[in-house]
Chains A and B, each alone.
Chain A
Amino acid sequence: MKLRLSPEDAAFRDEMREFFTTKIPQHIRDTVAARHELSKEQIVESVQVMNAAGLAVPNWPVEWGGKDWTPLQRHLWHEEMQLAAVPPPLAFNASMIGPVIAAFGSQEMKEKFLPATANLDIWWSQGFSEPDAGSDLASLRTSAVRDGDHYVVNGQKTWTTLGQYGDWIFTLVRTDPEAKKQAGISMLLIDMTTPGLTVRPIELIDGGHEVNEVFFEDVRVPAENLVGEENKGWTYAKFLLGNERVGVAPVGSTKRTLAQAKTANAERIAADPVLAARVASLENELLSLELTALRVVAHSADGKPHPASSVLKLKGTELQQAVTELVVDLAGPLSLASGAGDGSEVPDWARVATPQYLNYRKASIYGGSNEVQRQIIAKTILGL
């Protein structure tokens, strides 16, 4: 057992720190640090800078631009990125559909999509959830019926994050209505400009436009856009959702937000023992979470998600939310001034505090809700 990073890993960490703090345009990092919304252009620019340096999709197979990194190196890459206020590569591309195509797609599909997916030349959306299929995703009803060289898709997806920017959407569709739930599902890649596909915005409680509904009316999709085999979609979806859980413990960004809150309120915190104890307690929990992540990394062989990664999702999002809550409390009455404009003396961090707090209630709902994570812990780890 030893704590210190090996000289190679320490050098790796320094290299990542250097890259993220000097090569990603400052306006992007400032936007993230200020907890403001990134524009589509900023997200694309950030990914393209990373991709040019070969750092956008390290989790992919090497032949498609991935890196032969150890789990620890991947962890350090992810932490340093968050600490430097760099937005992580778009998850729909880098963590979700990219690895699925690389693992299960045909050679043609890989060549067509993977380079463009890594470079965010194609913006992917995730079309899994439906109005009646949330946690119980396998009850989805959107149908795809084979018609010659095409599938004809009908139905509705919802909660589609940033679907307004989407070029393509990867969907789970029902191809065999007779089979039992999981068995009749396929994964289909759909060009979002295809006639019959419409995207409608959903406004969220923070006033932002982050998610959408996507409607499919006789959308004709070339059969070559089927991933892998027909009716095997559930297998691919499980692979994808497993990967989703791994990257989801936002330790570095939560630490950074907490540090910023301390800086902006240092005198008050130093003078108020109750507040200081709350900060100390959050820091201690975050430290324990970070170490749990390191333990999971150290014990995760063959790149499969470690069962304890559910702990990371569950606790990671709880702490992320607890820090957003602390910031609202620090802002106090100023937290109501979310709409303040020029000429207001309310500091920016206090203006964004409540919209961020409200927005991050999502963290315990998506990526497998925290109840679903408890279910996984109870069943797969505790055998209950």
Chain B
Amino acid sequence: MDFTLDSETTALRDAVRGLLSKAYDSSETRREVTTTDPGFGEKTWTRLAELGVLGLPFAEQDGGFGAGPVEVGVVAAEIGRVIAPEPVIEAITAGGIVADLGSAEQRADVIGRLAEGTLILGLALHEIGEPVTATQDGDAWTLTGTKEPVLHGARADLLVVTAQTDAGLGVFLVDPSADVERTGYRTHDGGRAARVTFQGASAQPLGEPGDASQRALDQAIARARIAYGHEAVGAMETALRTTTEYLKTRKQFGVTLNTFQALTFRAADMYVSVELAKSAVEWATLVLADDPDRAVEAAERVRVQVGKASRHVGQEAIQLHGGIGMTAEYSVGHYTSRLTAIDHWLGTGDELLASLAGQVTTYGTLDPLPE
């Protein structure tokens, strides 16, 4: 058992931190970037690709760098520290499905371009009404129906789309430039999403529809939940640090606010929440690396812990700042907005607690270490 980063991973972290803290040197810079479409920095995206970030978890023969969940987590935490708006986790999640289900050709094409930074890969999962359906005619497949919200769906060059088939769940690659209508909009956290309607759009199947597709999707969501957990922890650490700095400098009643124990105790409780969430996230990352069969459960546990912590820390960060915390000009509110977005994407803690609750009587004590 070892919770320390090796020197290569530390170097990766430092490189990503260097890049992102330059790109987002202030809350104002991030606001400017997120105000104009596509809502993130295309140059920053290219630089992330140059560092190898976008191909991290993929096999080298597919054009990736053969790293694992630990490295992805380190990058995600750095994204969280400055709440960088680049859709790295989204692209890597979609890429992971291609890696798991795609043919050698599909993998080399999609992952190669993703890793080079020349492809924005989107993932279309959510539906509001009727499910998107896939129809087969000979070797050709077409998709019909609407996905919404699709993160960065209007900007994406290629979409990974889930759809119903006669044989169960299918996963498809769709080039959105033909027979797809896309309406993009801003999300509350400065990101982008879209309504994406497939009008008999031609689609390439990734593997066979059915159980294997469902399993790949479950694993992909587990990986995404854990990566978002890292992003959330990075964001919470910044929100807490910003808050403690403020308590040390803001004066009321002739003294700095850290004179008031009612406030410092609340900051201490925020710290406890962040540390517990961080422990859960680090654990799940190692489970993913070591014991993938347990990854779905571990990811659910992360959601529960991180969701609770995100709300606590996000709400208190604003409250302990008073009015300034409410403003768009100041940073903490944006962190709370981002934490809220993460919390509601891919299942809230409460939803996943319900899933864990169904299992509690099937084992005795819960042991975090693999046997």
Contact = CB atoms under 8 A, between A and B. Distances in A.
A62 interface: no
A2 B267 contact: no
Interface residues on B, range: 35 or more
Contacts of B1: 2-6, 9, 72, 294, 298
Contacts of A83: 365
A152 interface: no
Given A262-B360, A281-B353, A382-B271, 16 more contacts: A1-B2, A1-B5, A1-B6, A2-B2, A2-B289, A4-B369, A6-B1, A283-B356, A285-B305, A288-B276, A294-B1, A294-B3, A308-B275, A378-B261, A378-B268, A383-B248
Interface in B239-287: 240, 244, 247-248, 258, 261, 264-265, 267-269, 271-272, 275-277, 279-280, 282-283, 285-287
A259 B366 CA distance: 9
Given A294-B3, A374-B269, A3 B286 contact: yes
Contacts of B290: 2-4
Contacts of B6: 1
Nearest to A290: B368
A255 B368 CA distance: 12
A287 interface: yes
Interface string A368-381: 00010111011101
Interface in A142-173: none
A4 B291 CA distance: 10
Interface string A278-289: 011101111111
B364 interface: yes
A315 B279 CA distance: 13
Contacts, number: 160
Contacts of A362: none
A258 B269 CA distance: 24
A381 B353 contact: no
- Looking at A3, A286, A298, A382, which has the most chain B CB atoms within 10 Å of its CB? A3
A40 interface: no
A24 to B, nearest CB: 19
B318 to A, nearest CB: 18
Interface stretch (A183-191, A224-232, A269-277): A269-277
A279 B283 CA distance: 20
A163 to B, nearest CB: 33
A4 B3 CA distance: 11
B159 interface: no
Contacts of A259: 364-365
Contact of A311 (B247, B272, B285, B360): B272
Contacts of A290: 368
10 contacts: A1-B5, A3-B289, A3-B368, A262-B364, A284-B280, A284-B305, A378-B261, A378-B264, A382-B267, A384-B267
A266 interface: yes
SS of A interface (majority): helix
B222 to A, nearest CB: 16
Contacts of A374: 264-265, 268-269
Nearest to A308: B275
Contacts of A4: 1, 290, 369-370
A295 B279 contact: yes
A277 B265 contact: no
A292 interface: yes
Interface string B352-371: 01101111110011101110
B236 interface: no
A291 interface: yes
A263 interface: yes
B283 A291 contact: yes
Nearest to B301: A284
B272 A314 contact: yes
Contact of B275 (A5, A284, A311): A311
A135 to B, nearest CB: 13
Interface in A1-18: 1-6, 9
Interface string B58-69: 000000000000
A29 B318 CA distance: 49
B271 A384 contact: no
Contact of A289 (B2, B264, B276, B285): B276
Contact of A377 (B261, B272, B277): B272
Nearest to A285: B276
A6 B269 CA distance: 34
A1 B275 contact: no
A383 B258 CA distance: 9
B70 interface: yes
B123 interface: no
B279 A1 contact: no
A181 interface: no
Contacts of B268: 373-375, 377-378, 381-382
B271 A277 contact: no
Contacts of B248: 383-384
B304 interface: yes
B4 interface: yes
A294 B275 CA distance: 12
B368 A287 contact: yes
A298 B4 contact: yes
- Looking at B9, B248, B267, which has the most chain A CB atoms within 10 Å of its CB? B267
A277 B354 contact: yes
Interface in B115-145: none
A3 B275 contact: no
A377 B280 CA distance: 20
A256 interface: yes
Interface string A59-92: 0000000000000100000000001000000000
A260 to B, nearest CB: 9
Contact of A3 (B305, B357, B365, B370): B370
Nearest to A273: B357
A323 B9 CA distance: 39
